[in-house]
Structure 1
């Protein structure tokens, strides 16, 4: 691929990510096709093309795009998109194989703290891949491996709620108190994320030079490092401006530490001085002076590096350093590539730029600094000369005789003293003293005064212990915040786990114990409404779902349960209103068609209801609730084979859907297959042991099989689960009468009479009980009450009244 094609591919990738992040999959898909046309052999191109097609729900097209590079497991992005597509297309084994082959690419990877408003990752980490693997194994039917993947994902990222919910839905035994805890993987991810953020801030501080606050003492020496005013690269003409701009953008990013003195090589025996910069840093010095040796190395490594003055500080001061000065001069000549005429231009440009900067400087008090005339600026010495003169003045070391430049240096010192009127009353600046061949800072003499200059970059930076303490404090705050979030998730997880185990009363209490902000959220209200529905408290469930629609009128999730609640409460108007609203909101959602089917079922239009439920299964073939409702409608029409097929589809979609198992048991019961009915009832009861209806159904089958005592045990258990269950109490009373336990049966019937005062069967059975106890008058009275309540059953009631004298006759109606 040519150079232009490579640049075009890079730009296209950036544009694709831009459109993906801004939810423009159509634009991203168009650009991905262009990228794939330019670079068809690159798996990155296939990944982006498949990803954009997946976002557009073109699953088969996405499968074709990423099948080859993703099936071999060499590209994680392609393998992940292939697994997502295989989940949608039902090819679970192929998706699992692709992710397993790419295990070396995602295992141990963590993106904690890397998804922010300004950064994102389009390649998944271990938690995301394990979550997808769990879904694929679950779709394949292997709950054990799905659980293992979910557990690994939960260890990597406990905030993946879908993982915990999947474990609960599969019926896994979970210790909620140990869940949502700070794991080793999470703690290491948080620590590494905090460290990386801290490093980024540190690098940012290093890459962006900060000029010290200007004052009267450093007004002439401060340099603002801007692209148009660089102390290391003064501007001479328009041609050099482009080179300078390029160096200003490249050097701070690539060679920042070398430029600003952070990676200075070991010093030589001579001491070469130059202007101290505000960004010069060193581990042992307060002010770092740039060396000519380092300058020459930087000039060789970076072609765009700025040039320095050709004369050394010793020459400017008029001192003869002997061999050291000759070595320094030689190093300067070797390190520079410009002719001597250019150095003169450089000096002039530097003085002019310094004059322009002084026009914009302000003192600490906020007033504009005094601007000296051009002659004073020209004759003013550089700051390094002043510092060196101060240091040499405080030392008693003998120097060689001054050369011809000493007169110039003296004139500059005099001009500096005449100019610096703003520093009256201030002492000379103090800098660290450097001994040739040794970088250790010597202690200042007692005659020296404290430095009044603006602090250098090193002096303004906090010490290493303070930085470490700040990092530890930030990490502690983030850990505490994470622990707080985990505690909230733990409370939500405990409540949902209780609901998934059908411990209804405990689940209701757990949801009510949540903070008000969470308790009034739509999701919590939906779970609370489903809990009331499972407990057959339909009025309370209706209140919860009605509150959800007030908070979130456009919600469609869990509305199929609300429609069933209204069906149980026999409220056709409210049910029809709900169905119309859902149809306008989401015409192609399975929840909508379930609500419409329930509305038709309540109006006894069973064929229309079956058609609606079938439509729901066509929209989402894995929607178990629609298969279950359609099976019940088919069972009402006595289409047993079709009902069995529908219930089996429901069981296949959701193994723990006890409603489908109950429907299978009911079908076999209606068909007279008692053993099969008992087996399916017991499976459903094993899933939901708190449902009294299932216990009653098992008791009925036990009666059919001729085991009245076992049936009595089931009825008693059902009453312990639901003391107000009229059906369980009626069945229990009838079994007690069959066992000739009339006194116990009478106790149950007296309670039942208060629960169902208008039920003719209750009074009919009570008359039978009085007959067994020999209370003929009470028997006639209760039979008469039953006759008044249900005139259609007058034939059976009259026959029972005529048979009062037959003590051995026990013609109890099975209904």
Structure 2
């Protein structure tokens, strides 16, 4: 009987390790939905552990779903208050959500638990970054690197801060150091792409954004930037496919939907563009750019009264772009006068 119980216990243990190994492998391959599904198949006593909750949080974090990621990270800390691993990502999650108080509390708790923890110093750096104190943030990231010189993420965050300061040479050096430590560092490839984008080197920006996309094909923000650069390079069909991918991953990505509509207008696929803009208008009814682009569609269709109506709505919503909108209205009035003159000549 004892041997039978031991065999059954061994089988159960092997099954659990198989699930954990498969789930972790899926996470490494950025197959996030499949990864979470595997973890959720674990028995409840294994599912509700800090490590498993952190892995599920990373799945959500890497797909840009910071709200869901925060829930998993917070649960991990409730289950294991002394956990340090992956807390640098939790702090970045809180940074994205602009949760200053929660981020400050997290950094203090981590530092009180272990002042030699690089994760604690990254969390503290993120707290300073959220307050726009970039010098202090950089000092904290530097301290994290001193404590662990293989901590690629701290180099990446330093790069982000240098980008915000427009110190692009220093930022580039940090990103390249991160990649020398971890060639699969998605955020470092993305950071290099953003530098080339900001400095007008679109070809190089696209190369680096595509590398980031290959590492994490489920990040809607990267897919959006790939499409944006492709649009700037006049690779319109490719841009449409990239925006489609971004919307497949995150249907609420309003920026991707707007840019997709803009490209569709340039390709004279006006009906598709108008449908996208109408969908956006339901979500953001006070965005003047939507009305301006709809006005352009009506201009191209030759529906001048409708064009004037939408451009007038845009003008009421946006005083900053009033010159551009007024020029479009004046051009429209000029076309209308020409049409009336042609009709009179007949």
TM over 0.5: yes
2:190 to 650, 662, 684: 662
Query: Secondary structure of the residue that 2:321 maps to in structure 1?
Result: helix
2:202 to 665, 671, 674: 674
Change (3 A) 1:718 1:560: same
* 1-structure distance, mates of 2:315, 2:128: 34
2:300 alignment counterpart: 772
CA contact (8 A) 2:64 2:220 kept: no
Q: Deviations over 1:498-551 (max 9, x none)?
A: 222112222222222322111111111111111112222222211122222222
Change (3 A) 1:543 1:676: same
* Mapping 1:54-203, distance limit 5 Å: none
CA contact (8 A) 1:596 1:609 kept: yes
* Mapping 1:714-725, distance limit 5 Å: 714-725=242-253
1:116 alignment counterpart: none
* 2-structure distance, mates of 1:577, 1:791: 41
* 2-structure distance, mates of 1:617, 1:492: 30
Which structure has the highest helix share of the two?
2
1:576 to 104, 118, 127: 104
Q: Does 1:703 align with 2:204?
A: no
* 2-structure distance, mates of 1:561, 1:754: 34
Query: Secondary structure of the residue that 2:209 maps to in structure 1?
Result: helix
Q: Shift of residue 677 of structure 1?
A: 1.7
* 1-structure distance, mates of 2:203, 2:277: 30
* Mapping 1:194-213, distance limit 5 Å: none
Change (3 A) 1:799 1:572: farther
* 1-structure distance, mates of 2:277, 2:253: 12
Q: Does 1:513 align with 2:56?
A: no
* Mapping 1:97-496, distance limit 5 Å: 477-496=5-24
CA contact (8 A) 1:630 1:646 kept: yes
* 1-structure distance, mates of 2:244, 2:319: 32
Change (3 A) 1:776 1:619: farther
Change (3 A) 1:773 1:568: farther
> Which segments of 5 or more consecutive residues in structure 2 lack a partner in the other structure?
336-346
CA contact (8 A) 1:724 1:755 kept: no
Name the structure, 1 or 2, with higher relative contact order (CA <8 Å, separation 6+): 2
1:684 alignment counterpart: 212
Query: Secondary structure of the residue that 1:642 maps to in structure 2?
Result: helix
CA contact (8 A) 2:63 2:220 kept: no
Q: Shift of residue 474 of structure 1?
A: 5.8
Query: Secondary structure of the residue that 2:85 maps to in structure 1?
Result: coil
Q: Shift of residue 785 of structure 1?
A: 4.1
Q: Deviations over 1:54-85 (max 9, x none)?
A: xxxxxxxxxxxxxxxxxxxxxxxxxxxxxxxx
Change (3 A) 1:477 1:683: same
2:341 alignment counterpart: none
* 2-structure distance, mates of 1:684, 1:595: 24
* Mapping 1:579-618, distance limit 5 Å: 579-618=107-146
Q: Shift of residue 711 of structure 1?
A: 1.4
CA contact (8 A) 1:576 1:596 kept: yes
2:54 alignment counterpart: 526
1:567 alignment counterpart: 95
CA contact (8 A) 1:753 1:762 kept: yes
2:71 to 519, 522, 543: 543
Q: Deviations over 1:705-756 (max 9, x none)?
A: 2221221222222222222221211111110111121111101111122333
Change (3 A) 1:804 1:619: farther
* 1-structure distance, mates of 2:157, 2:219: 18
What is the aligned-residue RMSD (CA, Å)?
2.2
Q: Does 1:733 align with 2:261?
A: yes
* 2-structure distance, mates of 1:806, 1:624: 59
Q: Deviations over 1:130-151 (max 9, x none)?
A: xxxxxxxxxxxxxxxxxxxxxx
Change (3 A) 1:787 1:494: farther
TM-score (structure 2 length as normaliser): 0.89
> Which segments of 5 or more consecutive residues in structure 1 lack a partner in the other structure?
1-472, 808-815
Q: Does 1:623 align with 2:180?
A: no
* 1-structure distance, mates of 2:316, 2:142: 43
CA contact (8 A) 2:223 2:245 kept: yes
2:323 to 777, 795, 801: 795
Q: Deviations over 1:439-460 (max 9, x none)?
A: xxxxxxxxxxxxxxxxxxxxxx
In terms of Rg, which structure is larger?
1
Query: Secondary structure of the residue that 1:540 maps to in structure 2?
Result: helix
Q: Deviations over 1:244-300 (max 9, x none)?
A: xxxxxxxxxxxxxxxxxxxxxxxxxxxxxxxxxxxxxxxxxxxxxxxxxxxxxxxxx
TM-score (structure 1 length as normaliser): 0.39
Query: Secondary structure of the residue that 1:706 maps to in structure 2?
Result: coil
Query: Secondary structure of the residue that 1:791 maps to in structure 2?
Result: coil
CA contact (8 A) 1:529 1:545 kept: yes
CA contact (8 A) 1:563 1:578 kept: yes
